Amino acid sequence: MLTLELLINGMLLGGLYACVAVSFSLIWGVMNLINLAHGTMIVLGAYVSFMLFRAFGLDPFLSIPVAAVTLFLLGYALQRFVINLVVKGSVFMTLILTFGFNLLLVNALLAIFTADTRALTPSYAGLGVAFGDIRISYVRLGVFAFALALTYLLNLFLGHTRMGQAIKATSFDQEAAQLVGVRIRDIFSLTFAIGAALAGASGPLLGMLHSFSPVVGGTLTMKAFVVVVLGGLGSVPGAVLGGLTLGVVEHLSTLVLGSGYQDAISFLSLLVILILRPTGFLGKKFYAELKA
Amino acid sequence: MSTLLEVSQVSAGYRDVQILWDVSLRVGDGESVAVLGANGVGKSTLLKTMAGLLRPIRGRIRWKNQDITRVDPAARVRLGMCLVPEGKRLFVGMTVRENLLMGAFARRNGVEVRRDLERVLILFPALRDKLHRIAGTLSGGEQQMCAIGRGLMAGPRLLFLDELSSGLAPAVTEALLEAVAEINGQGVAVVMVEQDVMAVLSHAHRAYLIEGGRIVMEGKSADLLANPLIKKNYLAL
Amino acid sequence: MAGTSLLEVRGVSKWFGGVRALDDVSFHLAPGEILGLIGPNGAGKTTLINIVSGNLRASSGAMWFRGQAIAGLAPHRIAGLGIARSFQISKAFLGMTVEENVLVGALFGTSNGRSGDRKRDVYKILCLLGLEARRRDRVHALNVADRKKVDLGRSLAMKPQVLLLDELMAGLNPVELEALFGLLREINHQGVGLIVIEHVMRVIVSLCHRVIVLHQGQKIADGPPVQVMHNQRVIEAYLGAKYQQSTAGRGGLTS
Amino acid sequence: MDVKTARFDTHVWEERRASARRAVSWVLLVVAAVSLLAAPYALSAYWVRVLTTIFMYGALASAINIIAGFTGYPAFGHVVFFGVGAYTAALAIARWGWSFWPGTVLAAAVCGGFGAIAGLPLLRLRGHYFAVATLGMNEATRALVENFGFTGGGTGVILPSLRGSIREINALFLVLMLGVLAAVVGFSYWLSRSRFGYGCRAIRYDEEAAAHCGIPTTRYKVAAWTISASFTGTIGAIYAYWLGYIEPSVVFDMNIAVKFFVMMLLGGAGTVFGPLLGAVLVEGIGILSWSRFLTFHSAVFGLIIVAVIILLPGGLADLASHRFSLRSLLRNVQENRV
């Protein structure tokens, strides 16, 4: 029975991985930019929820919109005034720029919230539902539902709104998009802002599943990359598939290797995927060109 | 015929490499103009400068006597200038219908957009039953039709067409040129940049010839067709 | 017969997904011959060159270079045997100087002479192409035509026996065209076989000993330039049916 | 086709002027080396350690320059070899009782082998994919080291303490780091003039064209990565010996990777002395900011990175070749912005 429970918990965690990955994939797909601060932006979302929880006792699920809006504004400003200056630069530059920003954000969080680990434990944290002798907590189910809902909302936005179509068009051909009247600078800022908002929204979700501190962002960014590569760049269904797969693989691996190897497993699977099938399950031809 | 677009003494290039040297040309309202020349002489650079993708080093570009030299591409589309780029450059992962509707991204009037979509489907009937196909899976000719259709959806007064013939069999190019002639007939001015001199000259009113980034000849198409230099160098025989 | 010809290609086909780019193409290049390769856009010319140079693998068919089978060899192995090529869009090393680009050809081509005479060879090639004045400049400061000369210089420095030229003449004015003619004839006299892809007919007619015409992946003609120009199938396919009526109407433009 | 002899002479004359310039720079280098060797006895222990750290980062930046600068492959997680080198030497010395030199040689060999084996599959990737694949390799290795028993897991490895006075130990590591720095810079100097070096630079600018020139691109890429990996491993070994205690989070720390990456970029990727220059600058600024903003040290370092990337995308070398002016700075920004 243990494997069944691990399988279910793995899938539930996979939902969160999908949500974390889809916003990372959006920014990478549209602007060919790998945001190394993505994980720390999620942690920032968790801290927003943590402040609201401690000050007003607001339930973490209710704080999701606040975290999303905060990150939306931060993301828009960051892209508009900083990243847009460098976005056409080489892969060296954008990677290191976002690493520099990550350093700034981590230290800001350390200064404000100290390095202590925090957690978001709503009143019903302990409760759960049982099938036979498998126990699934409400919180995990809630996180899974919200994560998939956010992912579906993004897919809806991209598929059926004017701005969403413009973002998709830009991801296929920036110059052609300009030629039909799309202002690239605005689309980049909007895309980064939406990606940041989604990251912010997954903050509270993360906070309810795991304890967090200002420095855990790096591992989250790497997980997002693994899921995007597994699922295929620029594909929302791919990110969901990739997220669920990684969640399950990580959980099942604890059977064989013990709990300490979760991160090692996800990174090793990344290397295996990159070597065997860089386009992932559903992705477009991989983004391999090196901008000189 | 009033002047729609005027390019005067434009020089342009990339970081250290200058490609265009004092290029001047004019497009009248509703006129059909061809820009001819071999590969690498600067035809595409000229188009990119007129469409706003490239800022000229020197010279002025005027649209209905209003200076638009430093205006960005997105704004030029709203003024009525639309470039169908070389190599079709469709949004390959989106459907044909989504590509066409993206063409009208700059327009707010839904009624006009739907009417223009119908006009495009009349002009290119082959696209009608392929609206929901992913654009990347279409044949070369169909992709070119979709690219021109996308350009038309912006409701342009002036349509730039870059290397219509590239990668297409002569017969397909001929059919597309007939469609462009029909578009021109409906009052849309057209600038065709081509390497396939023979096909385009029989459709354009006037033509310019570029060599080494300079305009070396200008005149009515019939005169150029008869010109011995053109016949020797560009008409293949 | 594989023995006497410099380069022999037999029954080469190439499929991209469902699309057939080349269909059972065979030709040979004799030592010291200049072979023209023409055809409308998208006929498969560049695909054929990519297969000969090892950049693409043929779906089927075989190739020999001086009797040695080369189908399936990696590009650097084929280059080492003595087949050099230029590219339709220049692929010179933009960050290096003109001199260094040509030096790379000398260092890695068929020749492995001492460094002393290698420097002199490079300088000779730079003078031959009129590039010695700009030899210290980085290639990204050169215009399209000069970058193609650097491509050619790099290929020559490899001391090849077969040179594949993909639209080298594009973008050159008549004066530069004439100079390049002389140079290519000079190289050919030194025993280098040339395969030239060009659109400008005048170049093909006056430069090539023999011409093959591709149309939609098939070879539809193979022979001396003038004879090929009057071949009905070539005119039909290459110059388009439309051309037929206008020439018939005005007594034809063919000189 | 006659070669104008007049022009041929100017070519030779220029050759003579260039070699004169090279001679002068070698003399300067020797003078600098001699004065540095005297440093441990002249400077305080703090400044000797600062100097040793600058040499270490100079060597690390020059080592990654071989694969990321000359050959153009952005090995973002290159610190993995620093960690593997440190751990190999530490385990050899602490567990098997080896002395320092054999331990360091083993570290270099292990990292070289690791680079060659991982290189074959990974070097088929390019751009972002390669950059983050090496990042993944570093994180995976760190996670494995943290969990394996014989590597001491999270508690790390303690090396036997060194004999001799503080001054002697400082002098030893100053010399060791200077030695490895000289080796890497010397190799880069040879690389910039050798057939192998031109092959690597050709791969950087256009790998497809390089193959068509006859360059065995796969063999050259893997060789460049292997050499760069074994140099980095050697530096890791010396670092472990110097520190006396290592743990995964220290020697596999991504901040180290980015730091020497930025130094290479700032100094000028693909140049011989650029990375060293970048190391001196970044480490210098680091020391200044450390003393000024104790708490915000790494935040300030983050700010430096952001400023450097926006204003100097080509690094100092890029500026050295163009006239240094505000206009060329603005042109850099103009070219990369949207």
Q: Does A145 touch chain D (CB under 8 A)?
A: no
Is A89's CB within 8 Å of D338's CB? Answer: no
**Residue for token pair 């350093």:** A103
- Coil, strand or helix at D316: helix
Mutation test of the interface with chain A: which of D73, D80, D139, D293, choosing the one with the most A Cβ atoms within 10 A? D139
Give the model's pLDDT for residue D314.
63
- Please tell me if residue D16 touches chain C, with a CB cutoff of 8 Å: no
C-alpha span between D53 and B136 (Å, rounded)? 54
pLDDT (mean) for D238-250: 91
Report the pLDDT value the prediction gives residue A177, as an integer from 0 to 100. 92
Kindly determine whether residue A175 and residue B89, on different chains, have CB atoms separated by under 8 Å.
Answer: yes
Q: What one-character-per-residue DSSP string does D6-48 give?
A: HHHHHHHHHHHHHHHHHHHHHHHHHHHHHHHHHHHHHS-HHHH
Q: How far is CA A47 from CA A8, A113, A216, C182, D298, in A?
A: 28, 8, 12, 74, 21
Alpha-helical runs (H) found in chain D: 5-42, 45-64, 79-94, 100-122, 127-147, 166-193, 195-205, 207-212, 217-243, 248-251, 254-267, 274-292, 297-311, 315-321, 326-336
Q: Which residues of D touch C127 (CB under 8 A)?
A: 1, 3-4, 7
A249 in contact with D, Cβ within 8 Å: no
**CA pair distance B43, A66, nearest whole angstrom:** 52
Q: In this structure, is residue D280 part of a structural domain?
A: no
End-to-end C-alpha distance for chain A, whole angstroms: 53
The whole-angstrom distance between C104's CA and the closest CA on chain B is 24
What CA–CA distance (Å, rounded) separates A197 from D14?
Answer: 60
Residues of D in contact with C128 (CB under 8 A): 1
Pairwise CA distance, residues C175 & D138, whole Å: 58
Q: To which residue do tokens 């979709």 refer?
A: B146
Q: Give bridge partners of residue B11 from the DSSP assignment.
A: B58
Q: Give the pLDDT of residue D164.
A: 84
Query: For D268-280, how does the pLDDT look when each residue is reduced to its tens digit (9 = 90+)?
Result: 888 898 899 889 9
Of A263, A231, A247, A270, nearest to A15 by C-alpha is: A247
- Residue D237 maps to a domain: yes
Residues of A in contact with D146 (CB under 8 A): 260
Q: Which amino acid is residue B39, in one-letter code?
A: N
Contacts of residue B106 in chain A, CB cutoff 8 Å?
180-181
ipTM above 0.90, yes or no: no
Say whether residue C107 is in contact with chain D using an 8 A CB cutoff: yes
Pick from B105, B148, B160, B162 the residue to mutate for testing the A interface (most A CBs within 10 Å). B105
Q: Is B225 on the interface with A (CB under 8 A)?
A: no
Helix, strand and coil in chain B, % to nearest 5: 40, 30, 30
Is residue B67 within 8 angstroms of chain A, CB to CB? no
> CA-CA distance, A24 to A199, in Å (whole number)?
8
pLDDT at C240: 55
The one-letter amino acid at D174: L
pLDDT of chain C, 255 residues: tens digit per residue: 445 789 999 999 998 877 788 999 999 999 889 999 988 767 788 899 999 999 999 999 999 999 899 988 999 999 999 999 998 888 999 989 999 999 999 999 876 656 667 888 899 999 988 898 999 988 988 877 788 889 999 999 999 999 999 888 766 666 777 888 888 998 899 889 999 998 767 778 888 999 999 888 899 899 998 888 888 888 777 655 444 444 444 433 333
In-domain check, residue D72 = yes
Q: Which chains neighbour B (Cβ–Cβ under 8 Å, 3 or more pairs)?
A: A, C
> Å from B228 to nearest chain A CA?
38
Q: Which of D3, D199, D270 sits opposite C108 (nearest CB)?
A: D199
Does the beta-carbon distance from C144 to B195 stay under 8 Å?
no
Smallest CA–CA distance, residue B82 to chain A, in Å, is 7
Picking from C55, C109, C124, the nearest residue to D213 by CB comes out as: C109
pLDDT tens, position by position, for chain A (292 residues)? Answer: 678 888 888 888 898 999 999 999 999 888 888 898 999 999 999 999 999 998 988 888 899 999 999 999 999 999 998 888 878 777 777 887 888 888 889 988 988 998 899 988 888 877 888 877 778 888 888 888 998 899 899 999 998 999 999 999 998 898 899 999 999 999 999 999 999 999 999 999 999 988 999 988 888 888 898 888 888 777 788 889 889 988 988 888 888 777 777 778 878 888 887 777 766 665 554 333 222 2
Domains of chain A and CATH, by start: 2-288 (1.10.3470)
Task: Tell whether D167 is covered by a domain.
Answer: yes
Judging contacts by C-beta atoms under 8 Å, the chain C residues touching residue B199 are 240, 242
pLDDT at D248 over 70: yes
By the 10 Å C-beta count (0-12 exposed, 13-18 middle, 19+ buried), D278 is classed as: buried
Is residue D207 in a domain?
yes
DSSP sequence for chain A: -HHHHHHHHHHHHHHHHHHHHHHHHHHHHHH----TTHHHHHHHHHHHHHHHHHHH---HHHHHHHHHHHHHHHHHHHHHHTGGGTTTS-HHHHHHHHHHHHHHHHHHHHHHH-S--B----GGGG-EEEETTEEEEHHHHHHHHHHHHHHHHHHHHHHHSHHHHHHHHHHH-HHHHHHTT--HHHHHHHHHHHHHHHHHHHHHHHHHHS-B-TTTHHHHHHHHHHHHHHH-TT-HHHHHHHHHHHHHHHHHHHHHH-GGGHHHHHHHHHHHHHHH-TTTTTPPSP------
Output DSSP code: residue C140. Answer: G
Whole-structure pTM value: 0.81
Contact (CB<8Å) A88/D133: no
H or E element in which residue B209 lies: strand B206-211
d(CA D56, CA D179): 10
Q: How far apart are CA D116 and CA D119, in angstroms?
A: 5
Among D212, D321, D335, the strongest candidate for a mutation testing the C interface, having the largest count of C CBs within 10 A, is: D212
Give domain status of residue D142, yes or no.
yes
Tell me the count of A-D CB pairs closer than 8 A.
154
For chain D, the domain total comes to 1
Nearest to C130 by CA among C106, C113, C148: C148
Q: Burial letters for C136-155: b for 16+ Cβ neighbours within 10 Å, e otherwise? A: eebbbebbbbbbbbbbbbbb
The DSSP bridge pattern shows strands B81-84 and B158-162 to be parallel
Contact B85 A178 (CB under 8 A): no
- Best C16, C146, C242, C254 member to test B by mutation, with max B CBs in 10 Å, is C242
Which neighbouring-strand residues pair with B17? B14
C84: part of which helix (H) or strand (E)?
strand C83-85
Residue D164 belongs to domain spanning: 44-252
Specify the pLDDT at position B95.
Answer: 92
Place of tokens 């430069």: C207
pLDDT score at C1 = 43
Cα–Cα distance between D243 and B107 in angstroms, integer? Answer: 66
Residue C77 has a pLDDT of 93
Closest partner CB to C186 (pick from D1, D11, D199): D1
Residue C255 confidence (pLDDT) = 30
Q: Cβ(A188)–Cβ(A178) under 8 Å?
A: no
Residue D2 has pLDDT above 50, yes or no: no
CA gap C180, C163 in Å, rounded:
14
- D276 falls within a domain: no
pLDDT at C156: 92
Q: Are B34 and B200 in contact (CB under 8 A)?
A: yes
Q: Give dist(CA A185, CA A163) in Å, integer.
A: 13
**Residue-by-residue pLDDT tens, chain B, 237 positions:** 789 999 999 999 876 678 888 999 999 999 999 998 876 678 888 999 999 988 898 999 999 989 999 998 999 999 999 999 888 889 988 999 999 999 999 998 899 999 999 999 998 998 999 999 988 888 888 898 999 999 999 999 999 999 887 767 667 788 888 899 999 999 999 999 887 777 788 888 999 988 878 898 898 888 887 887 776 666 544
Residue D332 lies in a domain: no
Report yes or no: C39 and C214 within 8 Å, Cβ to Cβ: yes
Query: Does residue D233 register a pLDDT over 90?
Result: yes
Token readout for A102 is 């990550």
- Backbone CA torsion sign across D62, D67, D73, D79: negative
Alpha-carbon gap, residue B82 to C111, rounded angstroms: 52
